[in-house]
């Protein structure tokens, strides 16, 4: 297990961390009340990957960016199994 030090930041030391942004609406809008925390976290990860997609010009014919992120990559990123990964993806498809 990695030991995370929560000390003060000095100079540019804060740049060693990168963050996922999570839209506040996922917690304030009743429409998302039943969406699991895992699906909300996955959504924020997908949002961050969207900028990567746009930089690589991964745009479909309807001018929508698409994300390439395999089930295996999601499982590894979320540190969870196949069932939980698929459930989170299905939640996002259902809510969307």
User: Could you list the residue range(s) of the whole structural domain that residue 49 is in?
Assistant: 20-95
In a domain, 3, yes or no: no
In a domain, 10, yes or no: no
17 vs 65, higher pLDDT: 65
User: pTM for this one?
Assistant: 0.78
In a domain, 81, yes or no: yes
In a domain, 4, yes or no: no
C-alpha dist (Å) from residue 19 to 16, 22, 23, 47, 48: 10, 9, 13, 11, 9
The string of pLDDT tens digits covering residues 3-32 is: 666 677 676 766 667 788 999 999 999 999
In a domain, 9, yes or no: no
In a domain, 66, yes or no: yes
Pairwise CA distance, residues 8 & 27, whole Å: 29
Number of domains within the chain: 1
Pairwise CA distance, residues 95 & 48, whole Å: 19
């Amino acid at each position: 297990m990695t030991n995370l030090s929560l000390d003060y930041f000095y100079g540019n030391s804060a740049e060693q961390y990168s963050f996922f942004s999570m839209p506040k609406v996922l917690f304030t809008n009743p429409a998302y009340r039943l969406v699991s925390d895992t699906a909300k976290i996955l959504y924020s990860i997908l949002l961050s990957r969207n900028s990567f997609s746009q930089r690589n010009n991964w745009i479909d014919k309807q001018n929508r960016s698409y994300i390439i992120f395999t089930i295996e990559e999601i499982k590894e990123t979320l540190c969870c199994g196949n069932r939980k990964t698929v459930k989170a993806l299905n939640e996002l498809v259902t809510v969307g």
